[in-house]
Every structure is written in structure tokens, then in C-alpha cells.
Amino acid sequence: MTLNQPAFADDILSLLAQRSTQTVDIPVIQPADPFLDMAGEDLRRRIFLTESETGQSLCLRPEFTIPVCLRHIELASGTPQRYAYLGQVFRQRRDGSNEFFQAGIEDLGNADVAKADAAAIKDAADTLAALLPGSGLQLTLGDQTVFEAVVAALGLPDGWQTRLIRAFGDQDQIDGLLQGLSQPPVDVPGLDDETAALIAAGDEAGLARLIDARMTATGYLSNASRTPLEIADRLMQKARLSSAHLDAKALDVLKTFLSLNAPLADAPDALAAFARIAGIDINAALAGFDERVRVLEGAEFDSSTARYRAAFGRPLDYYTGLVFEISAQGAVLAGGGRFDRLLTLLGAQTAIPAVGFSLWLDRIALVRTRTSGDAMP
């Protein structure tokens, strides 16, 4: 059964076209690997997969950001470029609505990060305000760059930093990781004395030689999927992770940061006060945050219902900085953020800064019905 576009879809395309964009059409059938590799666990488990006659893994389009970026790379389009889109996406939802319409903008190549971030927020908010006058829109904003700076300042091993960063925005995962970091260090289980001694000494080369000798003696080497050096590296990583521990003060710093929740206009001062009291240097990350807020204020953005939540993130692995959502009447209507590493991971030859947002048309339609605002103002 074909899902019909909402009656206001053309209005959205018109609104997006007014924002210096070019509208793109993206095929429904997409290569699955980019989504499986880069979109994150939350999206991976909800994708509808299929296979081509040649065995290529394919999927129904689960979102637009990755395919828009792939199209940009394939056509070797110059930057900056602003792409607008509207179409169906297909992914499993808890409410059973597995296909729905999304629209949005992907802003690729604008080197003025604060200006591009502010434009993404304002474009999403202005579009929703035009579609839903008087609906009481609320903006929630987070910043992964600030979170990463706080985590780095605590001096955790890279493996723990990666775990925390990947969990950003998932409170249950974060709580579990913080619980692990609050426990006393433990040894990697199942190690004999000789192996444990080499790990304790940090002798990775010696550990690799020991593993190589044992694999050769048992005849396992010829069938091994990993080399002795790779196994040694993995064991050393596990040891570093198992021995990582945050003292009570550092743990309190991280928990205090994650509890920050302030009106957006007050957030720069709140973050500066936090860093000063915690005694950590996150000035570079805060400078970018402050500049974004300043540009938003200069763009006459109404921040009266906007809040910064330090623990707020979105469940897609490719975000790198700004993340935000806009809601009304308890429904999330728009979401987006910055994804500066994504195009390089997808094959771009040079780094391309990028930010964008998506609108959920079925949720917008529901709010329009509730407020009886079925016509454009």
C-alpha cells in the first residue's frame, strides 16, 4: 500500500526552497553498508534489509543524511551546498508505523561552523512555526564537542573515552558506564602469571612474541583469524579498560556536568562556571558553543523556550558537535546536528564540515490536527 504525502508537503518544499537550497531526489533502495557501519546501533536494528541478485546488501532508505552525502560525493559537487529533500523513510518504529515522510536540509561545506549551526536550528524552527502557528515550539540543544572535552579532561584511557562518547545521549548506557568506572580496578580474568606480568610491564612486543610461540607450538597459528600482534594489542586494551577508575572527585565532575540543564541564553555562563569550579580546561569547546549562541541571538532567534541539556544527544553515531530537537505538545517534530566526519568516512577526499536537520511529517500532521491549523497562515 502506497503511503500518501501529507497535504502540506508542497508547502514544506516551498519553505525549504526559500532557504538557498537545491532539492534532491534520493532513490528508495540504498546500499546497506554505510548505514550499518556509521548510523549507530539504534538505527541498525530497525533497518529493512534485502539483497541484490549479485549478493550486495541493500536496504530501504532509513534516513536521508547518508544518501545525500553519498550523492554529493558521487557528483563531485563543489561546496558549500545546501540540499533540501522530502520523501518516505522506512524503519521499524515502536508504534508500528514503519514508513513515514521526512523532509529537511543538509548543509555541506560551510566553514563558518557557528553560522551554519545557527542556520540549521533557525531553519527548522522557522519552518515549523510557519506550519504550526501558536503551537508552542520547544528547542532542546546538546553539544557532543563539549561532552568530549569534559571526558578528555578527566584523563581516561582512549577506550573508555570512546565508550562514553558512543553512549552520549543514552542515559541508561551512560549510567552503566559510570557505575563501572566507580568500581575498584580489576585484573583481566583468565591470564597466567607470565602473560599477566608482560601486560603489567606494558611490554606489548614481548606479549606478541609469547603468543606467537604458543600459537606455533599448538598448531593454531595457521588457522588464526588474528595475528599475535593483534591479539596482544587487544589484551593490552582490555587491561587498560579493566584498570581504569575514576576517583570520587572526577566521577562527581562528570555527573555534575551531565546534570546541567539551563535556558540556552544562560548556558554559556553555566558552562563557564562549571569548568572553573571543576578545575578543567575546556575553553576551546566552550568558545564554539558561545559563538553559536551569539550568532543565534544575532539572527533574532527566539530562545525563550530553548534549553541546553548537557546529557542530551541523538541516537546516530555520526554526530560530532551540535545536536538538537524541536518538539510541540510532547511530540518531537524535528531533529538534527553536526556531522563533520561523515563525508570523509563515506569517501570524500577532503574534510567537509556538515550540519543538517530532518522534519517528521506524520508528527507535524498530528499536531496540526490537534490545533486545527490545517491551512498555512
Residue 292 reports pLDDT greater than 50? yes
CA distance 279 to 269: 15
Q: Looking at residues 181-204, what average pLDDT do you find? A: 68
- Provide mean pLDDT across the span 291-298: 95
pLDDT at 21: 96
Residue 211's pLDDT is what? Answer: 80
Whether 246 shows a pLDDT value over 70: the answer reads: no
Supply the pLDDT for residue 377.
Answer: 42
Reported as a single tens digit per residue, the pLDDT across 36-50 is 888 877 778 889 998
> Does residue 251 or residue 287 have the better pLDDT?
287
**Identity at 234, one-letter amino acid code:** R
Q: Residue 183 has what pLDDT?
A: 57
Q: Taking residues 15-42, what's their average pLDDT? A: 91
pLDDT value at position 39? 80
d(CA 312, CA 316): 12
* CATH of the domain spanning 9-144+314-371, picked from 3.30.930.10, 3.50.50.60, 3.60.40.10, 1.10.10.10: 3.30.930.10
Burial group, residue 204, by CB count within 10 angstroms (0-12, 13-18, 19+): middle
Q: Is the pLDDT of residue 147 over 50?
A: yes
Contact assessment for residue 64 and residue 87, using Cβ atoms and an 8 Å cutoff? yes
What average pLDDT does this structure show over 55-64? 94
Q: Residue ranges of the domains in the chain?
A: 9-144+314-371, 193-243
Question: What is the C-alpha to C-alpha distance for residues 124 and 119, in angstroms, rounded to an integer?
Answer: 8
Tell me: pLDDT of 296 over 60.
yes
pTM: 0.81
Q: What is the pLDDT of residues 212-229, one digit of tens each?
A: 887 777 766 545 567 878
Contact (CB, 8 A) for 118 and 296: yes
